[in-house]
DNA sequence: CTTACGGGCG
């Protein structure tokens, strides 16, 4: 009797185990199949198998199902699985959140994050990293800070990935020092966290600090930098136009074999173009086996900025022929190319084709470029027409009207100047500029009464124009210039004399002064314009030893490049500081391009 | 068990 019971128990047990084993087996199989699905058809059939085999109540399997949909960017379908689940765990919620981030809907991710605690499911470090990531995409510093305190309260503030996501979040909202605070608080760091901090500096125009931190990394860590880190460092070099440092980093890229990586190559293309060596940019570009959108866009933008407008357009057409689809940035390069080569109608055609044939909606930057292009060549009626066409709620619209105001002044179009000025005043933007320019325009057409009225209106309302300033950094000394007062700078006279000399040479080559032309005649406003032009980021001239702000290059070089080549310009500028320049053996660095140089003791 | 962080051009 007892033996019978024992035997039947044994039998039941055996059946039970074998069923378990077979269940376990299919379970593993289903998970493996789900993990390997890379197309929707097989996923749908696997989904059917899950439903038929009764595994749809299994949280673990359903989570895998959600992940499979997310990998295929079918977040809606993932959400449907989510809705049908009876037992969701923290992984279910986190996976769906990251699914929404994948399809560029960070707001939906944050919505889920908010709803989660109501189901008595609490976030883990994965969830927090995902939520912070959503805040980064949205530049939502408010939610970001709130979530940060939530992280601290939950005790996850030492988690490496969570900290890294916080560094990025603060950086994307331009709170660079908060990023650094998180970075310094970390007990353990990896390449990703170092890369994040370095790129936060690079993306916030703090290239010097980026390079300083990179040096620290090289000195303190035994691991080699990877392609992510190197492209951030090259980006920092580009914004500072540190050609020598850039070349040394390029040699590191070659040594590690990242020179055909699209993003690394693109950052190099950009770096050389900003340093005035577009030949190198092109050489790097041509070495990429099958260049895609990113390298094409970089080289198109680089060529356009360098002044090779037609060549830039050739590259664009080449890209289209290869079937590579351009994006909004590519078109910005194309419009710049047209603008700087005087191909106005071609530019307008391209602007038109953006939506018509490529489905890309132009944003304010494209319109600003087009209005600028029309305005600088005196086609003010069209410029004004286009400006009116742009919806007034568009971001940065004031720049557009500011540009129109400035060009209508150059061409003495009081009617348009007044219209643009009034728009600016309505928008409460660039008030001083609007008043001053409107007043000057009235004066220039002899309407003194109006000129005087505008000036006094401006004074009455207490609007003051802050003097624009700019600086030239030469090795360890900074020279500051204030608008309308060149003498306030230690060697301001030398700068003005040099610019005058350059203007003479430009005229020799047939340059006709237009709007935003180099203006070094003795008119206060125009000196101001010139000095204001020397603003924003730095562009080094003369092998990384002499730098002037990038805005300078942009405005100054825009004109200069039409008649002087870059090297000539660099040489000319370097006259200002002849004594400060150390002549370097440039040829030594040419080897970097070919990878034969092993100069790695630079850091 | 499954879920998380970094690079480019504007």
**Predicted pLDDT at A398:** 85
pTM reported for the whole predicted model? 0.73
Q: What residue is closest to B1 (Cα–C1')?
A: A60
A545 CA, B7 C1': Å apart: 26
Q: Which nucleotide is nearest to A327 (CA to C1')?
A: B9
A262 CA, B7 C1': Å apart: 10
pLDDT digits (tens, 9 = 90+) for A23-49: 555 677 778 888 888 888 888 888 888
**Higher confidence at residue A583 or residue A527?**
A527
Q: Sheet containing A477-482: which strands, arranged edge to edge?
A: A477-482, A469-474, A546-549, A538-541
In the structure, what pLDDT confidence band is assigned to residue A108 with cuts at 50, 70 and 90?
A: very high
CA angle A399, A404, A408 (to 5 degrees): 150
CA-to-CA distance for A278 and A300, rounded, in angstroms?
A: 11
In the structure, what pLDDT confidence band is assigned to residue A196 with cuts at 50, 70 and 90?
A: very high
CA-to-CA distance for A332 and A202, rounded, in angstroms?
A: 22
Q: Which nucleotide is nearest to A63 (CA to C1')?
A: B2
A374 CA, B7 C1': Å apart: 36
**Higher confidence at residue A99 or residue A586?**
A99
Q: What residue is closest to B8 (Cα–C1')?
A: A263
Q: Which nucleotide is nearest to A97 (CA to C1')?
A: B3
pLDDT digits (tens, 9 = 90+) for A333-342: 999 999 988 8
A321 CA, B7 C1': Å apart: 28
What is the average per-residue pLDDT within A347-352?
96
Encoding tokens for residue A382? 């069209």
In the structure, what pLDDT confidence band is assigned to residue A462 with cuts at 50, 70 and 90?
A: low
Q: CB of A556 within 8 A of CB of A598?
A: no
**Higher confidence at residue A16 or residue A520?**
A16
A394 CA, B8 C1': Å apart: 26
Chain mean pLDDT for chain A: 77
What is the average per-residue pLDDT within A188-213?
95
What is the average per-residue pLDDT within A509-538?
34
Q: CB of A344 within 8 A of CB of A382?
A: no
**Predicted pLDDT at A83:** 96
CA-to-CA distance for A276 and A282, rounded, in angstroms?
A: 12
Q: Which nucleotide is nearest to A333 (CA to C1')?
A: B10
A255 CA, B4 C1': Å apart: 31
What is the average per-residue pLDDT within A362-375?
92
Q: Which nucleotide is nearest to A332 (CA to C1')?
A: B10
CA-to-CA distance for A76 and A69, rounded, in angstroms?
A: 8
Q: Which nucleotide is nearest to A66 (CA to C1')?
A: B2
Q: CB of A102 within 8 A of CB of A70?
A: yes
% of chain A at pLDDT higher than 90: 47
A225 CA, B3 C1': Å apart: 28
Encoding tokens for residue A372? 């600028």
**Predicted pLDDT at A435:** 74
pLDDT beyond 90 at A586? no
Q: Which nucleotide is nearest to A336 (CA to C1')?
A: B10
A60 CA, B2 C1': Å apart: 6
In the structure, what pLDDT confidence band is assigned to residue A394 with cuts at 50, 70 and 90?
A: confident
Q: What residue is closest to B10 (Cα–C1')?
A: A329
Q: How far is CA A334 from CA A126, A214, A313, A362, in A?
A: 41, 34, 6, 13
Nucleotides in chain B with any atom closer than 7 Å to protein CB: 1-10
Helices (H), A139-261: 141-154, 160-172, 176-185, 191-203, 207-220, 227-240, 243-256
Q: How far is CA A83 from CA A66, A86, A115, A254, in A?
A: 11, 8, 13, 50
In the structure, what pLDDT confidence band is assigned to residue A496 with cuts at 50, 70 and 90?
A: low
% of chain A at pLDDT higher than 70: 69
**Predicted pLDDT at A115:** 96
Helices (H), A53-140: 59-71, 75-84, 90-102, 106-115, 125-138
Q: How many CB atoms lie within 10 A of CB A132?
A: 26
In the structure, what pLDDT confidence band is assigned to residue A506 with cuts at 50, 70 and 90?
A: low
């Amino acid at each position: 009797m007892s033996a019978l019971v024992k035997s039947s128990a044994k039998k039941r047990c055996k059946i039970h185990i074998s069923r378990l084993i077979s269940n376990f087996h299919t379970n593993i199989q289903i998970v493996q199949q789900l993990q390997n699905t890379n197309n929707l058809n097989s996923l749908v059939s696997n989904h059917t198998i899950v439903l038929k085999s009764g595994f749809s109540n299994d949280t673990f399997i359903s989570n895998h199902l959600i992940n499979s949909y997310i990998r295929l960017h079918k977040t809606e379908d993932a959400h449907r699985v989510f809705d049908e689940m009876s037992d969701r765990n923290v992984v279910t919620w986190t996976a769906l959140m990251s699914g929404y981030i994948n399809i560029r809907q960070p707001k939906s991710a944050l919505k889920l994050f908010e709803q989660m605690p109501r189901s008595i499911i609490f976030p883990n470090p994965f969830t927090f990293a995902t939520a912070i990531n959503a805040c980064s995409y949205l530049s939502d510093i408010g939610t970001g800070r709130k979530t940060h305190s939530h992280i601290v309260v939950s005790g996850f503030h030492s988690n490496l990935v969570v900290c890294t996501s916080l560094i990025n979040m603060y950086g994307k909202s331009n709170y660079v020092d908060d990023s650094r605070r998180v970075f310094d608080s970390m007990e353990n760091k990896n390449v990703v966290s170092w890369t994040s901090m370095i790129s936060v500096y690079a993306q916030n125009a703090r290239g010097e600090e980026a390079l300083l931190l990179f040096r620290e990394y090289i000195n303190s860590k035994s691991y080699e930098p990877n392609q992510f880190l190197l492209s951030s460092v090259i980006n920092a070099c580009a914004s500072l136009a540190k050609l020598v440092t850039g070349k040394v980093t390029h040699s590191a890229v070659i040594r590690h074999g990242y020179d055909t990586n699209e993003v690394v190559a693109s950052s190099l293309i950009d770096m050389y173009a900003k340093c005035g060596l577009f030949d190198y940019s092109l050489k790097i570009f041509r070495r990429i086996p099958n260049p895609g959108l990113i390298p094409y866009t970089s080289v198109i933008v680089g060529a356009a900025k360098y002044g090779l407008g037609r060549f830039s357009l050739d590259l664009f057409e080449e890209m289209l022929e290869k079937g590579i689809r351009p994006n909004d940035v590519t078109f910005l390069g194309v419009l710049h190319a047209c603008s700087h080569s005087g191909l106005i109608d071609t530019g307008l055609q391209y602007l038109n084709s953006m939506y018509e044939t490529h489905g890309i909606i132009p944003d304010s930057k494209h319109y600003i470029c087009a209005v600028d292009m029309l305005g600088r060549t005196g086609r003010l009626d069209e410029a004004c027409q286009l400006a009116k066409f742009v919806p007034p709620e568009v971001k940065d619209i004031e720049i557009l009207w500011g540009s129109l105001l400035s060009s209508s002044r150059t061409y003495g179009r009081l009617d348009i100047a007044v219209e643009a000025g009034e728009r600016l005043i309505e928008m409460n933007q660039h008030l001083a500029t609007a008043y001053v320019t409107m007043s000057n325009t009235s004066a220039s057409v002899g309407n003194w009464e109006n000129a005087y009225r505008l000036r006094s209106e401006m004074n009455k309302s207490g609007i003051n124009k802050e003097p624009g300033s700019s600086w030239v950094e030469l090795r360890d000394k900074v020279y500051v210039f204030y608008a309308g007062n060149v003498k306030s700078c230690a060697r301001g006279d030398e700068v003005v004399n040099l610019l005058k000399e350059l203007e003479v040479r430009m005229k020799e080559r047939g340059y006709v002064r237009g709007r935003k032309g180099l203006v070094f005649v003795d008119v206060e406003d125009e000196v101001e314009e010139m000095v204001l032009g020397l603003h924003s980021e730095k562009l080094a001239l003369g092998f990384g030893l002499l730098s002037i702000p990038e805005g300078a290059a942009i405005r100054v070089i825009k004109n200069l490049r039409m008649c002087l080549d870059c090297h000539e310009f660099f040489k000319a500028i370097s006259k200002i500081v002849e004594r400060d320049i150390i002549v370097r053996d440039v040829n030594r660095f040419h080897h970097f391009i070919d990878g034969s140089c092993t100069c790695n003791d630079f850091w």
